[in-house]
Amino acid sequence: MKAVHEGFERYRKARETRSDFEFVGDYFMTAGNPDGAAERYRRAAKELGSEPEKRDACEMKLAAAEAGAGRSKSAIAVYDRLSRTAVDSKRRADALVAMITAQLTVGKRKDAQAARERLAQEFPDRVSDVDPKLK
């Protein structure tokens, strides 16, 4: 019974901190449905327009869902935008690292190298988070 209670508490906290669309998007990602998740995250991000930090966090999830659904070009575009415009510098760095990973996944090595150079200039402490062979 303790596990049920703890699980319910996590559920309740998640419901209080996320919009319905984002909550369902998280469920879809957990269930292995990145297409469904991407649509929900896109809608949630629109709802969160007046809350930039929450919107940025939701758009990071959107980009991951797009990548999971095989839409790397879309994922890279979202990561690129977030790497330049996210309110929080940690989120900008996270987006840049994720963009480099996505670029490498689809064979865009030159783009990834350019992004790595940008990472080295803007967030030198994060360079170790990307493929060391990418120099």
Check whether 4 has a pLDDT greater than 90: no
CA-to-CA distance for 19 and 25, rounded, in angstroms?
10
Domain hosting residue 110, numbered range = 2-129
Cβ-based neighbours of 70, under 8 Å, separated by 6 or more: none
Q: 106-110, 121-125, 131-135: which range is least confident on average? A: 131-135
In a domain? residue 135: no
Q: How many residues does the chain have?
A: 135
In a domain? residue 46: yes
In a domain? residue 47: yes
> For a pLDDT cut of 70, what percent of the chain falls above it?
85
88: domain CATH number is: 1.25.40.10
Contact criterion met (CB below 8 Å) for 96 and 115 = yes
In a domain? residue 134: no
- What is the number of domains present in the chain? 1
In a domain? residue 80: yes
Tokens encoding 63:
């980009």
Q: Give per-residue pLDDT as tens, 22-66.
A: 888 999 999 999 999 999 999 999 999 889 999 999 999 999 999
**Contacts for 34-42: CB closer than 8 Å, 24+ residues apart:** 34/64, 34/65, 34/66, 34/67, 34/68, 34/69, 35/65, 35/69, 37/61, 37/65, 37/68, 38/62, 38/65, 38/66, 38/69, 38/71, 41/65
